[in-house]
A and B are shown apart, each in its own frame.
Chain A
């Protein structure tokens, strides 16, 4: 304990030295999004340049700060000046900016997007504050507060920012009082259902047994959601501390993080985090001198959506096929190895340290009645400013999509939340507040945090089919309604996207969907029809167009789309002819080309060259035509 206190003090000193010392600091965002955009190449070049000119500076790899569309981000903090952010870096640009700054004292403000006045320096009037950027303005970053600021692999950075203060306070309170704080804060599970966290905990605490488990659910099976992954990559210790707190509250002996094996970087950061915790006595026997002994291990999953479901997750941790079982008994009474087990989402756990540090009242000031606190979303799809965001509950959906996301490029069509278990909301629902009940009332769900904006170029029927194909493939096959029902739904939808269905198929689809929803064994089957059912409710006209007229207004459904060349625009450049994989396009140079529809496979290559090549005439058109009813 004494050593730990000492380490805390040193960590704070080190942190202060980093931020107000005489050495410049260069930050590079190196979470998955940054790396994909080329952050490591940028970093390598920066290192080389610093070495070449013999410049002394700290190079810190931080996590994801949110506006992923600006990645790779590089920030420079010169001594006595605010940290300045530069977006969309390439190695060459980074080299130029560094040389300008360090050799010529020019901060290249033309390339900068924002500054952080948080470190107490007066900035330049020319740059907005980072948190005043339109994307950040209405966000409230509680769970994500460290993301992009600390080095996720350095526990001292976490310690210097009140890290592991939550668990220390928990030790002072005692386990039951921790549950009471969580109850008073009104924490609801962020994994999707919004179940009050303290209730599960109380069940588990009251359940008899010496051995209990707590599992962090980072299965994140929603294809198109990355908020749990980003949080662990950017601030692993906040989740690990949350796991400690949960373990202490319910009297658990062991914690596990169940994480998708694809999340390599997140796994590496968890493992190094756990090793650092052990070193500091934050794991093991009598943690920090308390009577609480606890261990954490990482358990990799092998990519099955159903393993996000609690009982399937447990089966998978035990080394069996990830099949759910019927409940009760609930895992809180009989879970992993038939011992009482609590499963919480990554974000639920990540919220706990703050609550224990600053109290229930502090937490309740965010959000609205019965929906306290914040929620992270991965905002993607057809928006101008996609990224990782965190908003207070109760914020209007419109504010997220237009205020934070900057709205879609083209006409807005819908917003999808909750992934394969969720639904789509149309324009008229944009003013509802983002809270569990309101979202459910409108026919969608809050979900675990996937939020995908759709514009007029997205076909709703195709999207419903996309999700259903996913759940159908991921169905574990244990119960017939889900296994067979989703298959039939897929067939009906497939026929619709091919223009081969009858109008009564829409009713059949609806009835079938409701049956699957009611009769399935686990949450996967019970929610699989949601994307279809909610779109049938809000976008029925689009289904009717597909079924009756073979018409796809978004021109997405391949079989309903044809390609042709606009003779007015075609300048005979032959680029499309060259790119066509099936030689479907013919035409001599400088004369109008034509597409042989028999050969065309609708791969869109011709459209792209024609549209994006400077010499081409933007003449290739693809569209869907209404079929005249016989």
Chain B
């Protein structure tokens, strides 16, 4: 099964070094993170060392190396959101889930990330829950949403 995913991703590339980042992005889109197997498969495909592949992947904040949680919560930490109290929201999520950003809950139900800017600064502060933007979020509003977590 996993064989197919890589084959599938690789089929739209030529196998040049310059494609590494795009391949990493496509792989992460498919399996949610960059696994050890992914590093190995990509390194073989591009004829680069595994070190090189991991080196590039670990340079960019976008790539992650553990499986994501099911419900994704992204708190925006951009400047506009920061001045509107975004860090309070991050604290609130952290307290509620018992983890800090960059982590998933041990049961993999929740995933807590920070974003540098979600591009809707005029609606600050914003939080993205499963690709849905919540705008002008208050700590209490966020808590309410999180309390309805069974619905996710």
Chain A interface residues (CB < 8 Å from chain B): 32-33, 35-37, 68-69, 71, 221-226, 229-230, 261-263, 299-305, 316-322, 378, 380-382, 386-387, 416, 419, 450, 452, 454, 458, 463, 466-467, 470, 476, 579, 581, 601, 603-605, 608-609, 612
Is A318's CB under 8 angstroms from B122's CB?
Answer: no
In the complex, what distance in Å separates the CA atom of A463 from the CA atom of B85? 11
Residue B117 at the A interface, CB < 8 A? yes
In the complex, what distance in Å separates the CA atom of A229 from the CA atom of B59? 23
For B135, the chain A residues whose CB sits under 8 A away are 36-37
Q: Return 28 A-B CB contacts under 8 Å, by A number.
A: A33-B123, A35-B133, A36-B120, A36-B126, A37-B135, A223-B117, A224-B79, A226-B119, A226-B120, A229-B119, A302-B21, A304-B60, A319-B21, A320-B56, A321-B59, A378-B121, A380-B124, A381-B79, A381-B84, A450-B79, A452-B79, A476-B59, A601-B95, A603-B88, A604-B139, A605-B143, A609-B140, A612-B140
Given contacts A221-B116, A608-B139, 10 further A-B contacts (CB under 8 A): A37-B120, A224-B81, A262-B115, A304-B61, A319-B56, A380-B124, A381-B80, A386-B122, A604-B85, A605-B92
* Given A322-B59, A450-B79, A603-B133 contact (CB < 8 Å): no
List 7 A-B pairs, minimum CB-CB distance, nearest first: A224-B79, A302-B60, A68-B122, A319-B20, A36-B133, A36-B120, A380-B80
For A35, the chain B residues whose CB sits under 8 A away are 133
Is B62's CB under 8 angstroms from A303's CB?
Answer: yes
* Given A36-B126, A302-B24, A608-B139, A223-B83 contact (CB < 8 Å): no
For B106, the chain A residues whose CB sits under 8 A away are none
Is A36's CB under 8 angstroms from B21's CB?
Answer: no
Is B21's CB under 8 angstroms from A316's CB?
Answer: yes
* Given A319-B20, A609-B140, A419-B121 contact (CB < 8 Å): no
Question: What's the least CB distance linking A7 to chain B, in Å?
Answer: 30
Among B63, B80, B95, B119: residue with most chain A CB under 10 A: B119
Is B119's CB under 8 angstroms from A33's CB?
Answer: yes
Is B138's CB under 8 angstroms from A612's CB?
Answer: yes
Residue B68 at the A interface, CB < 8 A? no
Is B60's CB under 8 angstroms from A303's CB?
Answer: yes
In the complex, what distance in Å separates the CA atom of A50 from the CA atom of B63? 44
Question: What's the least CB distance linking A295 to chain B, in Å?
Answer: 15
For B116, the chain A residues whose CB sits under 8 A away are 221, 223, 303, 305, 470
The residue that B22 contacts in the complex, of A226, A300, A609, with Cβ under 8 A, is: A300
For A381, the chain B residues whose CB sits under 8 A away are 79-80, 83-84
Question: What's the least CB distance linking A471 to chain B, in Å?
Answer: 12
Question: What's the least CB distance linking A624 to chain B, in Å?
Answer: 16
The residue that A32 contacts in the complex, of B17, B59, B119, with Cβ under 8 A, is: B119
Question: What's the least CB distance linking A381 to chain B, in Å?
Answer: 5
* Given A224-B78, A302-B21, A303-B116, A463-B121 contact (CB < 8 Å): no
Number of A-B residue pairs at CB separation under 8 A: 150
In the complex, what distance in Å separates the CA atom of A340 from the CA atom of B133? 42
In the complex, what distance in Å separates the CA atom of A71 from the CA atom of B24? 35
Question: What's the least CB distance linking B79 to chain A, in Å?
Answer: 3
Considering the complex, give the chain A residue whose CB is closest to the CB of B23.
A319
In the complex, what distance in Å separates the CA atom of A32 from the CA atom of B123? 11
Residue B129 at the A interface, CB < 8 A? no
Interface 1/0 per residue, B122-152 and A, CB below 8 Å? 1110100000010100111001000000000
Residue B19 at the A interface, CB < 8 A? yes
Is B77's CB under 8 angstroms from A223's CB?
Answer: yes
The residue that A261 contacts in the complex, of B25, B84, B143, with Cβ under 8 A, is: B25
Residue B50 at the A interface, CB < 8 A? no
Is A452's CB under 8 angstroms from B59's CB?
Answer: no
Question: What's the least CB distance linking A443 to chain B, in Å?
Answer: 18
For A305, the chain B residues whose CB sits under 8 A away are 116
For B78, the chain A residues whose CB sits under 8 A away are 223-224
Considering the complex, give the chain A residue whose CB is closest to the CB of B118.
A36
* Given A226-B117, A319-B18, A303-B61 contact (CB < 8 Å): yes
Residue B41 at the A interface, CB < 8 A? no
Considering the complex, give the chain B residue whose CB is closest to the CB of A263.
B119
Is A386's CB under 8 angstroms from B60's CB?
Answer: no
For B55, the chain A residues whose CB sits under 8 A away are 321
For A608, the chain B residues whose CB sits under 8 A away are 138-140
In the complex, what distance in Å separates the CA atom of A612 from the CA atom of B22? 46
For B140, the chain A residues whose CB sits under 8 A away are 579, 605, 608-609, 612
